[in-house]
Amino acid sequence: MYKIGIIGERDSVLGFMSLGFSVHEVSDAGEAAGVLHKLVNSGEYAIIFIVENLAERLAGEIEAAKYHELTLPAIISLPGNSANTGYGMSAIKNAVKRAVGADIIFNKD
Amino acid sequence: MAQLRVNPTRMELKKIQARYDTARRGHKLLKDKRDELMKKFLDIVREDKVLRERVEAGLAGIYRSFAVASAVTGHEIMVESLIMPGREVALDVGYKNLMSVTVPEFRAEILGDGGAAVFNYGLAFTSGELDASLRELAALLPYLIRMAELEKAAQLLAGEIEKTRRRVNALEYIIIPQYLETMKSIRMKLEENERGNTTRLMKVKDMMIEKKIMSKRRDAEEE
């Protein structure tokens, strides 16, 4: 049995407590990176949600640690309480670009 | 174009011919694999895009009503109400093989007692907005999990597609032309040798005939 974790600022992640996620409050990207590595290495988590503004700043770190190549956990960004950056959508867009070589799904918008 | 450094012999030619055949077959297979991966990947991404739009819209609404609830009841009471959840969500993880890429499948299991446990607080001090937003959030859970599953699959497939594409291109533009070039040069060398051989034979024959003519002429003069 695996857990679902969520990393983000207090206001964004508070509600997820009620769902039974294991909530990790952080105040900045540095702290978030530490928590992320700890969660991934613990091996207890199958999904780790990260609030978008933090996910954007952690992108380089995630790339360097090659977490994308692991089967577990899935590291997914979610929009937060404030400053919805659209990073989650652009991450898929980038995956399409990487795989296909051109953006063929999102070019409409 | 680069070619392999090998001795121009028939044996090497046969060896390279065999390797060339294998490379051609591998190239075709990898190309098929790439196309199929791409098809699966695009299906996943299309579904994920729809799902993500829905989740993001849902979350935006939830954050709004959360803000309202927080304003009505005060931050401390909110935290107090939420800090001890009545349920825990656990994930059962299965694995699926998509074109030799292992992709996780998630099934959520909610521990603790079912629906009512989302509200694990007294209703006296909290506002109705909180109840509503929590209910919406709970309804969003299956979508969140499905979205995570799809995005993880998309990430893994994208990596595999990239790798496969690189292999296909390496075979198509480097390995196969290299073999062709090498085979051509070996054939040319062999033909050249053959021609050299023929010329040499002709020359030797000429010399022999000349010798014979000379000796016959000498015989005729002596008589």
What average pLDDT does range B173-192 have in this prediction?
Answer: 95
Question: Does A105 map to a domain?
Answer: no
**Average predicted confidence (pLDDT) for chain B:** 88
Question: Does A109 map to a domain?
Answer: no
SS3 state at A94: helix
What average pLDDT does range B172-180 have in this prediction?
Answer: 95
Q: Is B91 on the interface with A (CB under 8 A)?
A: yes
Note down the domain range covering A46.
3-100
Domain boundaries B10-181, CATH class: mainly alpha
Which positions 154-173 of B are in contact with A (Cβ < 8 Å)?
Answer: 154-159, 161-162, 165
Give the relative orientation of helices B75-82 and B10-73 as an angle to the nearest 10 degrees. Answer: 120
Query: CB distance B66–A81 less than 8 Å?
Result: yes
Among residues B152, B131, B181, B129, which one has the least CA distance to residue B23?
Answer: B181
**B223 pLDDT more than 80:** no
- For residue A41, give the CATH number of its domain: 3.40.50.10580
pLDDT band for A83, please (50, 70, 90 cuts).
low
Task: Report the percent of chain B where pLDDT is more than 90.
Answer: 59
Q: For position B1, what pLDDT does the model report?
A: 60
Domain segments of chain B as ranges: 10-181
Which positions 42-81 of A are in contact with B (Cβ < 8 Å)?
Answer: 46-47, 49, 68-69, 71-72, 74, 76, 78-81
SS3 state at A92: helix
Pair type for strands A2-8 and A22-25 = parallel
Residue B130 · residue B80 · CB < 8 Å: no
**ipTM summary value:** 0.89
Q: For position B170, what pLDDT does the model report?
A: 95
Question: Does A53 map to a domain?
Answer: yes
Of the partner residues A4, A17, A92, the one whose CB lies closest to the CB of residue B151? A92
Provide the shortest C-alpha distance from residue B185 to chain A (in Å). Answer: 36
Q: Which two tokens stand for residue A39?
A: 């969660």
Instruction: Identify from B34, B48, B63, B77 which residue to disrupt to test chain A contact, counting A C-beta atoms within 10 A and taking the largest count.
Output: B63
**B179 pLDDT more than 90:** yes
SS3 state at B101: strand
pLDDT band for B104, please (50, 70, 90 cuts).
very high
Question: Does A108 map to a domain?
Answer: no
Chain B CB contacts of A81 below 8 Å: 63, 66-67
Q: For position A109, what pLDDT does the model report?
A: 46
Cα–Cα dist B95/B88, whole Å: 23
Question: Does A22 map to a domain?
Answer: yes
- With tokens 């959360």, the residue in question is B66
- For residues A58, B50, B133, B113, the Cα torsion angle rounded to the nearest 10 degrees is -90
Q: Which two tokens stand for residue B74?
A: 């005060």
- Count structural domains, chain A: 1
pTM confidence score: 0.84
